[in-house]
Amino acid sequence: MTRIDAKFAELNAQGKKAFVSYVMAGDPDFDTSLELVKGLPGAGVDVIELGLPFTDPMADGPTIQLAGQRALEAGMTLDRTLELATEFRKEDNTTPIVLMGYYNPIYSRGVETFLSQAKAAGIDGLIVVDLPPEEDDELCIPAQQAGLNFIRLATPTTDDNRLPRVLQNTSGFVYYVSITGITGAAEAEATDVGPEVARIKAATDLPVIVGFGINTPAKSQAIASVADGAVVGSAIVSQIGAGKPVGEVLEFVKSLSDGAHAA
């Protein structure tokens, strides 16, 4: 059982929904980013999605693209991202970390080497948005053999013919993308999301967590009420991009997590 599996079992036993937060590793710099990540569990975050900075983030809107650029300009690399996770693990050995990014840096490192290093750093799961199920032998299967969850995205365009293939080797949880488009492009609506979550849950026992388009405590609560939890990324990253102090960002995160947990 991974930390992700254990966390969802704990939440389920408590009758609680999950709150998942996304931040870009190294944004705006290593030290500030580490301080922020260390503060996330205390702000009510159940699972941390840690963005791996990359030059060509095809699924991300301007807010997260700019975060990646800030991190890269501050010297963030794959090694430094894993170092950040390692530093976090010195104080917290229970909060799951999901590394979210693109395949190119992993491919360049070499899958076997990367998985060994990620496991040693305390990474629990991967979301690699540009690797479809047809490429499961590339990273998904080796990751799960190494003890890491491989979390797949389902979208409004994942129809009933495609869904079984998407779910086939998914573990940890299913990430449902609430909108068609990039991160931060539109707002999620519970009336649209609810039936889609129900459709996915009819095909899997995994928790279904909804992300994209969630930017307020009320929206976090509304979406979590029709799913197993909510993910917020761009709204948090925009606060970092505006130069707000870590304490203020964490207060905002706490308001979002309170929303999800009230569902």
Catalytic residues: 49, 60
* Cα 134 to chain centroid, rounded: 22
Burial-class residue 33 by CB neighbours within 10 Å (0-12, 13-18, 19+): buried
Please give the backbone phi and psi of residue 18, each rounded to the nearest 5 degrees, phi first. -95, 145
CA distances from 31 to 12, 124, 201 (A): 34, 22, 39
Find the angle CA(9)-CA(12)-CA(15) to the nearest 5 degrees: 155
Q: Are 147 and 172 in contact (CB under 8 A)?
A: no
